[in-house]
Structure 1
Amino acid sequence: MNIAFIINQTHKEAASFTTTLLALRALQRGHSIYYIGLADFVYLDETKVAAHARAVHHLDTIDDTQQLLDVLRDTPKKRILVQEFDIMWLRFDPVLDMIGRPWAASMGLQFAEMAQKLGVQVLNDPRALVDAENKLYLENFPEEIRPRTIVTRSYDDVKQFLEQQGQQIILKPLKGSGGKNVFLVNQHEIKNLKQIVEVICRDGYLIAQEYLPAAQQGDIRFFLLNGRPIVVDGKYASVNRVQPSGEIRSNIHQGAKAQAAIITPEILQLVEKVALKLKNDGMYFVGLDIVGDKIMEINVFSPGALPQASELNGVDYTTAILEDLERLGK
């Protein structure tokens, strides 16, 4: 198959990324891979949409993810009609371009939708991703699975919510990722509340959520594929991300430690409550962030930490994903 990965920019990809490992595994299984940045699309007419893509067709001297990226960056772009791709996999993070290239994510989704109309299999469904471009997407799911939440740009709204929640809440950007501008606010921080709200709201709306005491044990990133948990040899694709002392963010690149997650029947019941809608929405590959008995976030653009899940559990989840992708592409 010809599998195209739509990313922000090739030079911003890293060897540790889930996308890079998926691309390497695809190559190892005999597929051709293509890297397409959000600025690389071309509209020619209603039947011709193309992309300036970097292609790798054979492993040759590629042994690991870093060598793959080195080869990709040295490969010149070539314009290719999107109909030549069997799968177009959207693996970009809209937040990375929110400031410097605010047009990039919306145009990527628009071109992906054009490709879909021309018969290309696009993952995740770009029409659904428009509705899931920020954290409000979680509010479409059952109330019992999500923390109490408000979305606002008003300091007074946040202050009132803080009082209602026992003087302890989490504040973060509505459209954000990677743990940037995430704050735990309690009665000791109330003097800084107005400033915190102003900092977050510089880039748009903020989301305020109830604080869950279980967050002290970190969160669990849990992966779904086409509405089903990814399981290999009885081990669920998941990671327990535990933040360092004094830190509230569970992002690995913010210093959190990845540990093997204990998946309980209660967690599986929680996942089951969102799985069918995710599948019906066309969300093929999803990462859920679970704290206690709540889902804090649903990651549908470029969920990461799959390499850590494979390493911690001693199984290869990427091969299971590629096998499913091959069935999908037939």
Structure 2
Amino acid sequence: MKIKLGVVMDPIENIDIKKDSTFSILLESQKRNYKIYYMEIKDLYIYLNKAYADTKIIKITENKNMWFDVIKKKKILLSKLNIIFMRKDPPVNMEFIYSTYILEFAEKMGTIIINKPSSLRNFNEKLFSILFSKFIPKTLVTRKKKKIKKFIKKNKDIIIKPLNGMGGKSIFRIKREDLNASVIIETITKNESKYCISQKYIKDIINGDKRIIIIDGNPIEWCVSRMPKKDEYRGNLAIGGTAKLEKINKRNLRISKKIGKFLKKNGILLAGIDIIGGKLIEINITSPTCIREIENFYSISISSILLDKIEKILKKNKL
């Protein structure tokens, strides 16, 4: 049986194939002779109680000038696809939420959706880590300026960020004596109209922000340590951080396995968790990255491990 794989993502023409994890998954899928149906959120729709999409059947190549080719356009009933990867980057706004409801129609008909649509709705990436309170730094979630200022005073040095960002955007560091604290809080909370998350600053960021990939509850033994640039406190690769490959240490492995059990139970097949100084910061489930970075540094194919697992599920479900 030729496997039909659907992928919901941002415009494919805009990706950076050197570090795009979705591209790595698609490359491995094509090696296995999967038929790839590319779509964006705007292409999903429901008609007469069935979920469809206007798709493009594509072929891809590792060519930095032209990495995909549209073979043909095709309207398809989503339940005719064996697998659908939901790889749309944040923000997880209402359009994103609506798309998960549409994907759920296909899921109920037996299509494997990665990750499970209800879990994408239920677990905000910034708040998710709070479920594992013994692993996280001191944390406050609020939109009240007074509470944030009290948190700064108590902890002396904090990180503050919105609940719906990615790639290191709109992340601020505030020290107790910072005269810009008020304007930063006003900006992040949009004058107390938006929630944000504040956490005690972890000095060990100088040794890297560890991205650990978890597949079906099992952490990959190698992680990417994202090192901040000089005079920077954010390690995100999207803003100039550098990638260093490391083997997971014992503490981080213990944290990863604990979280992995919860992820598997909730239908989250692919995730990326962020750990700084032995403290859990985020659990990324929308479109976790760093697959390419690990594969480029070390002779391991995370995409292959992922697709092997999916094929076992397909075989078990006789899809």
Give the TM-score taking structure 1 as reference length: 0.89
- Given that 1:238 and 1:306 are in contact with CA atoms closer than 8 Å, whether structure 2 keeps it comes out as no
1:210 to 200, 206, 215: 200
- Cα deviation for residue 288 of structure 1 reads 0.6
Matching residue of 2:32? 29
Who is 2:51 aligned against?
Answer: 49
Structure 2 Cα separation of the partners of residues 70 and 31 of structure 1: 15
Measured in 1, the distance between the counterparts of 2:253 and 2:146 equals 38
In structure 1, how many angstroms separate the alpha carbons of the residues matched to 2:10 and 2:78?
18
Deviations 1:31-57 (A, max 9, x none): 1111110110121122x211011113x
Identity %: 27
Distance 1:121 1:68, change over 3 A: farther
Displacement of 1:68 after TM fit?
6.9
Shift of 1:150: 0.8
Contact 1:20 1:69 in 2 (8 A): no
Alignment correspondent of 1:161: 151
1:66 is displaced (CA, Å) by 4.3
* Corresponding residue pairs, total: 310
Letter in 1 for 2:46: Y
For residues 146-168 of structure 1, give each alpha carbon's deviation from its aligned partner in whole angstroms, at most 9, with x where no partner exists.
11111111111111001121x10
1:94-173 paired onto structure 2 within 5 Å = 94-95=90-91, 102-141=93-132, 143-165=133-155, 167-173=156-162
TM (normalized to structure 2)? 0.92
Partners of 1:194 and 1:146 lie apart in 2 by 25
- Divergent runs of 4+, >4 A: 65-68
- Give the 3-state SS of the residue equivalent to 2:180 in structure 1: helix
Offset from partner CA, 1:205-250 (integer Å, 9 cap, x none): 11000111211212110000010113xxxxx241011011111111
After TM superposition, give the deviation of residue 8 of structure 1 in Å: 3.0
Q: Which runs of 5+ in 2 are unaligned?
A: none
Taking the aligned partners of 2:314 and 2:104, their CA distance within structure 1 comes to 18
User: CA offsets per residue over residues 69-106 of structure 1, 9 Å max, x none?
Assistant: 4314xx553210112100111111231xx6xxx54211
Which residue is 2:5 aligned to? Answer: 3
Distance 1:135 1:150 in 2: 11
1:275 Cα offset (Å): 1.4
Within the candidate set 276, 286, 306, 2:271 is matched to 286
Output the CA distance in 2 between the equivalents of 1:237 and 1:324: 18
RMSD, aligned CA: 1.8
Q: What do residues 260-281 of structure 1 show as CA deviations (whole Å, max 9, x unaligned)?
A: 1132112111212211111111
Q: Which residue of 1 aligns with 2:180?
A: 192
Q: Is this contact kept in 2: 1:22–1:318, CA < 8 A?
A: yes
> How far apart in 2 are the matches of 1:262 and 1:31?
32
1:134 CA drift (Å): 4.2
Shift of 1:321: 1.7
The equivalent position to 1:318 in structure 2, one of 303, 308, 317, is 303
Residue of structure 1 in register with 2:252 after alignment: 267
Quote the residue 1:233 is aligned against: none
- The aligned amino acid for 1:158 is I
* 2: CA distance, partners of 1:324 / 1:126: 19
Q: Which runs of 5+ in 1 are unaligned?
A: 231-235
Closer, same or farther: CA 64–229 of 1 in aligned 2, 3 Å: same
Q: Does 1:243 align with 2:228?
A: yes
